[in-house]
A and B are shown apart, each in its own frame.
Chain A
Amino acid sequence: MNSDLRALRRRKVIRHIVLILLCFLSLLPFYLMFVNATRTSNEIKAGISFLFGSNLSENLRNFAEAQVGLGVTVLGAMLNSFKIALPFTILSVYFSALTAYGIYAYNFKLKKFAWGFIMAVMMVPTQVFAIGYYKFMIQINLIDTYWPLIIPAITTPAVVFFMRQYLQGALSLEIVEAARIDGSGEFHTFNTIILPLMKPALATQAIFQFVYCWNNLFMPTLIISSSAKKTLTMFVQMLTAESFRADYGVVFIGLAITILPMFIMYFILSKFIVEGVSLGGVKE
């Protein structure tokens, strides 16, 4: 029995060690990035260091100079990304909740078809119709504006799916009946009673939709062409340009700045995010 216990403890220690190593592996590239952001280009070329350097302000200055020629600053690009991601998130969670509620709470002829359709298109990725979308946006004069990046938020089938699953577990239709007896209109009921009840689902999905939109590179590259309108991910792409490649310190400080917002956001909201991923687990 005693040796059994010892074997168990040994296994526990080994597992903890492996898991701790994996956690270090998650953090290491970011740690190296922050360290290198404070070193000179020559120091970086000489090798790895785990100690912070003293060149942070110099790198920041050089970075500020290097970005002048790009037509958009990193903060401007962040603001652009935010201008797209915020309305995208709001539209996505609102219309997904509306659609999910419409299918969950009412009986109508096309209900089954509508649900089947949403499930079927859930797997269709945007990239396969990007060419048609690009041409369409040229035809209706919306190319190089943010509208083509925001409007598709109304149709996010995976979010609708999640919302309906949530409603199934959290909403009893008696509440809706009671509201009707009180004379509340259907849209009014949805906006004032149902939406507040869905807060946890709305919040989780809002985080994921925001992150998805913020991190997207493919669609903005397709739609946006003016330098001043470029998003943060497009700014990252410009960091590969010759003007930056010459100075490693500038590349690393640039990367650190572009990563920082998501990094901070994750450590504030990580609990909800990890829960959210687990909930989405047993999807259709």
Chain B
Amino acid sequence: MKHKKKKGGVNYGKYGLRFIAPFFIAYILFSLWPLLSTFYYSFFEYVTRNLHTTVEFCSFQNYLNVLGITDGERAYFLTYLGNTLRLWILNFVPQVLLALLIAAWLTSSRVRLGRKGIYKVLVYMPNIITAASISLLFYALLSKFGPIMSTLRSWGLISASADIMVSKWGTSLTISFILFWMWYGNSTLLLIAGMMGINPSLYEAADIDGATGWQKFTNVTLPLLKPVLLYVLVTSAIGGLQLYDIPALFNTGTGGGLIGLPDDTSTTVTMYIMRLHASDTGRAAAVSVMLFIITLIISLIFFRVFRDDKDYKNARAAHHRKGVGA
């Protein structure tokens, strides 16, 4: 491509810079600058008294406060990070297992299923619908005097006082179920795309060796699917850390306090940031910075694993030869 650099005295390279300039200018202004200023704010103490806010440098005090290291402060960041991780893991494990099963079924060459298109469309559907509405819908259906609990009560399956909303695990499992229900279709489609990229001759060779379906799955499919599985894991983990819409609308305290009931056990890190953003910029910024660092560590591990992964390089090379979207 080098010979195209100069032709007829025109340097086309400068157009490349011009084409990408809007993206980079906007990124620096509206993402990088806010990110750097978030770091900056995290080192200041914001105290509001009588509608007057004083700002003072306080080095790492905000971090120590939200980590509960200062006397009299509770480790809110750790509590909410724990909540967030609990909600994410409870959804991710069943999600990826079911997605693997369905993807294997829909790509199986031995047991060929019809109507694949409609199955894909329907299992993916909840992912598109407004999460805020879905969360409130489940809340309305499952609340103590809602239709589902009433029916279960009248059948004598649950006691008269049974209420998901006062139970920590009841609430957590329901939120995780909503996440699972919304996202397993997405993972299924990604895994199907990954499985279709596996060279069919590998399966033929395994057939000749007399491998069973399970052996083919564990010895051919899973190892070659590692990059896609890793991608699903990392995007889900990073998305899971930012979890907001569903817990913010499912079983939260009234009064706009953004407290995940019962007893603060379903409050996530981003709900905490939202709760603090207007009243205590310093702490909100400190929480954001820690969230950023955790996200960064996850991405770095992901890139490191990928760079060293031979299978991944091969898969990627094959993918590029095929040409995406062609």
Q: Given A131-B41, A169-B323, check contact A214 B130 (CB 8 Å).
A: yes
Answer yes or no: B214 CB below 8 A from chain A CBs.
Answer: no
Answer yes or no: A242 CB below 8 A from chain B CBs.
Answer: yes
A106 and B16: CB pair below 8 A?
Answer: yes
Give Cα A130–Cα B277 distance, bound, in whole angstroms.
9
Which residues on the B side are within 8 Å of A123 (C-beta)? Answer: 234, 238, 295, 299, 302
B113 and A215: CB pair below 8 A?
Answer: no
A131 and B16: CB pair below 8 A?
Answer: no
A186 and B110: CB pair below 8 A?
Answer: no
Which residues on the A side are within 8 Å of B185 (C-beta)? Answer: 26
Q: Which residues of A contact B (CB under 8 A)?
A: 8, 11-12, 15-16, 19, 22-23, 25-27, 29-30, 32-33, 36, 44-49, 95-96, 98-99, 101-103, 105-111, 114, 117-118, 121, 123-125, 127-136, 151-152, 154-155, 160, 165-166, 168-170, 173, 177, 180, 186, 190, 200-201, 211, 214-215, 217-218, 221-222, 232-233, 236-237, 239-242, 248, 251-252, 255, 258-259, 262-263, 265-266, 270-271, 273-274, 277-284
A278 and B4: CB pair below 8 A?
Answer: no
Could you tell me the distance in whole angstroms from the C-beta of A193 to the nearest C-beta in chain B? 14
Q: Given A152-B26, A170-B325, A259-B130, check contact A107 B141 (CB 8 Å).
A: no
Could you tell me the distance in whole angstroms from the C-beta of B325 to the nearest C-beta in chain A? 4
Q: Given A107-B4, A136-B37, A218-B245, check contact A168 B324 (CB 8 Å).
A: yes
Q: Which 9 A-B pairs have the closest CB atoms?
A: A102-B19, A106-B16, A169-B323, A281-B193, A132-B34, A132-B38, A169-B326, A132-B37, A108-B13
B119 and A23: CB pair below 8 A?
Answer: yes
Could you tell me the distance in whole angstroms from the C-beta of B314 to the nearest C-beta in chain A? 12
The interface residues of chain B, by DSSP majority, are classed as helix
B150 and A47: CB pair below 8 A?
Answer: yes
Which residues on the B side are within 8 Å of A279 (C-beta)? Answer: 193, 324-325
Which residues on the B side are within 8 Å of A19 (C-beta)? Answer: 102, 105, 113, 119, 123
Which residues on the A side are within 8 Å of B252 (C-beta)? Answer: 240
Give Cα A237–Cα B324 distance, bound, in whole angstroms.
39
B133 and A255: CB pair below 8 A?
Answer: yes
Which of B165-173, B200-208, B284-292 is the contact stretch?
B284-292
B147 and A155: CB pair below 8 A?
Answer: no
Answer yes or no: B57 CB below 8 A from chain A CBs.
Answer: no
Give Cα A236–Cα B141 distance, bound, in whole angstroms.
15
Give Cα A99–Cα B295 distance, bound, in whole angstroms.
25
Could you tell me the distance in whole angstroms from the C-beta of B275 to the nearest C-beta in chain A? 11
A107 and B27: CB pair below 8 A?
Answer: no
Could you tell me the distance in whole angstroms from the C-beta of A208 to the nearest C-beta in chain B? 9
Q: Which of B102, B137, B145, B274 has the most CB of A within 10 A?
A: B137
Q: Given A190-B19, A211-B128, A274-B189, check contact A125 B295 (CB 8 Å).
A: yes
A32 and B147: CB pair below 8 A?
Answer: yes
Answer yes or no: B82 CB below 8 A from chain A CBs.
Answer: no
Answer yes or no: B270 CB below 8 A from chain A CBs.
Answer: yes
Could you tell me the distance in whole angstroms from the C-beta of A229 to the nearest C-beta in chain B? 17
Answer yes or no: B244 CB below 8 A from chain A CBs.
Answer: yes
* CB-CB contacts below 8 Å: B152-201 with A: 154, 181, 185-186, 189-190, 192-194, 197
Q: Given A32-B141, A124-B31, check contact A282 B38 (CB 8 Å).
A: no
Which residues on the A side are within 8 Å of B4 (C-beta)? Answer: 107, 173, 177
Could you tell me the distance in whole angstroms from the C-beta of B103 to the nearest C-beta in chain A? 11
A135 and B41: CB pair below 8 A?
Answer: yes
Which residues on the B side are within 8 Å of A26 (C-beta)? Answer: 122-123, 125-126, 181, 185
Which residues on the B side are within 8 Å of A177 (C-beta)? Answer: 4
Answer yes or no: B249 CB below 8 A from chain A CBs.
Answer: yes
A12 and B111: CB pair below 8 A?
Answer: yes
Could you tell me the distance in whole angstroms from the C-beta of A126 to the nearest C-beta in chain B? 8
A125 and B325: CB pair below 8 A?
Answer: no
Q: Which of B110, B193, B302 has the most CB of A within 10 A?
A: B193
Give Cα A282–Cα B306 distance, bound, in whole angstroms.
13
Answer yes or no: B304 CB below 8 A from chain A CBs.
Answer: no
B273 and A130: CB pair below 8 A?
Answer: yes
Give Cα A8–Cα B136 distance, bound, in whole angstroms.
43
Q: Given A131-B281, A168-B324, A200-B325, check contact A233 B242 (CB 8 Å).
A: no
Give Cα A190–Cα B319 distance, bound, in whole angstroms.
26
B189 and A278: CB pair below 8 A?
Answer: yes
Contact for A106 among B15, B130, B248, B284, CB less than 8 A: B15
Q: Given A19-B113, A131-B284, check contact A155 B130 (CB 8 Å).
A: no
Which residues on the A side are within 8 Å of B197 (C-beta)? Answer: 282
